[in-house]
């Protein structure tokens, strides 16, 4: 978050050419920077960091990719868990240890729970309804409260039948299309999130809701890439006309906004229609609508808008995060076969040959649970967590943190700390086990930091965790994952907010004929439910 990508070069050049014609914008920029400087002066020092330049600050220092690695190197160079940079007058504080993250984002959550302005995504592309990225305040509290009321941890059991059925269909499809496992997993994650959120059962192939989600979320993730759009660092650029040099981002956003609106409206209206017909399945949206207790039409419309917003947030936030975790698991099993063998031996002993693993088996599968934890540590979904924004001036360990600072948690630095996790690039589930083979409660569970910090932690994380658990255990129990002959592709990831592996090849096939029969029997039973 807060880094600058290469595509900014042309965009910046065009905008500067336009500013030569309209000196007003240059004057306005100077006044904005001067105002920020005058209103954030303090005798105490800022945290250490690279020296900047006049006006642009550290713009040229910010990395174009893998920002978590740059921030980790800066932490070593400046010998500090807290770093400071400034980009066009915007104060950015990088948090480079779990201790500092907890002390600021948890202990001082009353002033560190807002979100920074996301002009391109929220204002121009129409994603402002997502409460995960809303500024702290009444609108955010209303939506989070609603989501937690109808999707709490205590209700997780109610959704397990759908999770069981979906994973059985997934296993069957993996058998049928072994070489197209990425698309199969994408279809599964989209399908289960749509089912839990809206009660919609997707088609086996070419489902319109899956296609809609893939396009809209793809645009969202691409536009959310840190530093991709200059307007996120200079918000007043949103006011320039669409025809202005360098304003292609505005024309793109206007077109992409259509996908955002359809993404939000289509599944919600389908749920309402199914409820009118009396054929709606249990889901978050249906449960909320059934429990509406409003006195006026205005109140009902207001509550429906909240339900629509929160369902779409779950829809948008859950699909790619679960997919990323599952693809990382597949990639790990391809490159570290010994971990797969140990997990399968444990499953064979605990579950046996005649059934699939279930949620009730979790407490008896320490190695499998350790393996899942290692998936989230080895290649974190988001090495840089969603940024927070401070709402008050603060002093921390002698450093001044101005009001409005963007706080960037670097989770990578402690998940790959060699002092805590030796050989961090290796996939070693045993690091989470005691010598006697039980889960070590003294070792950080990476899942606990995978979905945010403080008051902004994802309220749907328990659903993500249970889904990842049931999928990984069932795949391990029935399938064998291996490296294709002659394959020497290294582990590589995309430079996106949700850190997806680059396209890779692997072989996935049933462990035996008996496992293949078990998959067929379970898939048939799930189809008849």
| 428-462: pLDDT as tens digits | 999 999 999 999 999 999 999 999 999 999 988 99
Residue 6 has pLDDT above 80, yes or no: no
Helix or strand or coil: residue 484?
Answer: coil
- Confidence band of 224 (pLDDT split at 50, 70, 90): confident
20: pLDDT strictly greater than 60:
no
- For position 3, what pLDDT does the model report? 41
Q: What is the pLDDT of residues 334-383, one digit of tens each?
A: 999 999 999 999 999 999 999 999 999 999 999 999 999 999 999 999 99
Domain count of the chain?
Answer: 1
3-state helix, strand, coil in the chain (%, to 5): 55, 10, 35
Flag whether 153 is in a domain: yes
pLDDT band at 415 (very low <50, low <70, confident <90, very high): very high
| pLDDT of 223 above 60 | yes
Dist CA 477 CA 468 (whole Å): 14
Give the residue numbers spanning the domain of 15.
8-528
- Of 339 and 179, the structure prediction assigns the larger pLDDT to 339
Which residues, 6+ apart, have CB-to-CB distance to 401 below 8 Å? 46, 47, 91, 93, 390, 393, 394, 395
Residue 3 in any domain: the answer is no
pLDDT on residue 31: 54
Q: How far is CA 526 from the centre of its chain?
A: 30
DSSP 382-440: -SBPPPEE-SS-EEETTEEE-TTPEEEEB-HHHHT-TTTSSSTTS--GGGGB-TTSSB-
The CATH number of residue 54's host domain is 1.10.630.10
Least confident of 37-46, 75-84, 271-280, 438-447: 37-46
- Asked if the structure places residue 211 within a domain, the reply is yes
Residue 393 lies in a domain: yes
Inside any domain, residue 408 = yes
- Average the pLDDT over 265-279 and give the result: 96
> What values do phi and psi take at 410, rounded to 5?
-95, 95
Q: For 121, which DSSP code?
A: I
Task: Quote the pLDDT of residue 229.
Answer: 87
Asked whether residue 49 is assigned to any structural domain, the reply reads yes
Q: Are 146 and 288 in contact (CB under 8 A)?
A: yes
pLDDT for 8 equals: 43
1 assigned to some structural domain: no
Mean pLDDT, to the nearest integer, of 395-401? Answer: 97
pLDDT at 105: 97
**Token pair of 35, please?**
């105002």
pTM of the predicted model as reported, rounded to 2 decimal places: 0.89
Is 3 annotated to bind a ligand? Reply is no
Other residues' Cβ atoms within 10 Å of the Cβ of residue 408? 25
Domain-embedded: residue 2: no
Q: Provide the pLDDT for residue 529.
A: 53
């Amino acid at each position: 978050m807060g880094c600058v990508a290469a595509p900014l070069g042309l965009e910046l050049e065009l905008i500067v050419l336009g500013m030569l014609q309209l000196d007003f914008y240059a004057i306005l920029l100077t006044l904005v920077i001067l105002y920020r400087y005058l209103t954030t002066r303090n005798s105490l020092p800022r945290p250490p960091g690279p020296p900047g330049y006049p006006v642009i600050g550290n713009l040229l220092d910010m990395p174009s990719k893998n920002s978590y690695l740059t921030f980790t190197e800066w932490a070593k160079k400046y010998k500090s868990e807290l770093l400071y940079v400034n980009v066009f007058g915007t104060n950015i504080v990088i948090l480079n240890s779990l201790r500092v993250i907890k002390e600021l984002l948890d202990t001082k959550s009353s002033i560190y729970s807002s979100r920074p302005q996301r002009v391109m995504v929220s204002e121009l592309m129409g994603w402002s309804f997502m409460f995960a990225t809303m500024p702290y305040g009444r609108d955010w509290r209303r939506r989070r409260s609603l989501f937690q009321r109808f999707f709490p941890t205590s209700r997780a059991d109610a959704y397990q039948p759908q999770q069981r059925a979906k994973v059985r269909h997934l296993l069957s499809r993996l058998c049928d299309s072994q070489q197209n496992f990425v698309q199969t997993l994408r279809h599964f994650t989209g399908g289960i999130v749509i089912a839990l959120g809206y009660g919609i059962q997707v088609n086996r192939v070419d489902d319109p809701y899956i296609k809609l989600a893939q396009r809209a979320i793809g645009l969202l993730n691409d536009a959310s890439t840190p530093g991709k759009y200059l307007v996120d660092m200079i918000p007043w650029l949103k006011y320039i006309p669409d025809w202005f040099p360098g304003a292609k981002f505005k024309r793109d956003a206007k077109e992409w906004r259509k996908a955002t609106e359809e993404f939000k409206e289509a599944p919600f209206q389908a749920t309402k229609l199914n409820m009118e017909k009396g054929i709606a399945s249990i889901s978050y949206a249906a449960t909320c609508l059934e429990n509406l207790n409003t006195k006026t039409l205005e109140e009902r419309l207001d509550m429906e808008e909240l339900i629509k917003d929160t369902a779409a947030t779950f829809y948008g936030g859950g699909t790619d995060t679960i997919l990323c975790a599952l693809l990382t698991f597949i990639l790990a099993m391809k490159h570290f076969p010994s971990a797969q063998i140990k997990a399968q031996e444990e499953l064979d002993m605990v579950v046996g040959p005649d059934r699939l693993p279930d949620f009730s088996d979790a407490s008896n599968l320490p190695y499998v649970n350790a393996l899942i934890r290692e998936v989230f540590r080895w290649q974190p979904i988001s090495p840089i967590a969603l940024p927070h924004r401070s709402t008050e001036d603060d002093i921390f360990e002698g450093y001044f943190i101005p009001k409005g600072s963007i706080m960037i948690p670097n989770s990578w630095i402690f998940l790959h700390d060699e002092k805590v996790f030796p050989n961090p690039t290796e996939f070693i589930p045993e690091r989470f086990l005691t010598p006697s083979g039980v889960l070590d409660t003294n070792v950080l569970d990476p899942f606990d930091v995978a979905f945010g910090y403080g008051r902004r932690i994802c309220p749907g994380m328990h659903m993500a965790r249970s889904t990842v658990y049931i999928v990984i255990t069932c795949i391990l129990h029935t399938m064998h994952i291996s490296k294709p002959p002659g394959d020497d592709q290294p582990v590589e990831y995309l430079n996106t907010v949700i850190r997806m592996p680059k396209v890779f090849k692997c072989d996935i096939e049933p462990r035996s004929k008996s496992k293949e029969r078990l998959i067929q029997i379970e898939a048939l039973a799930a189809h008849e439910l």
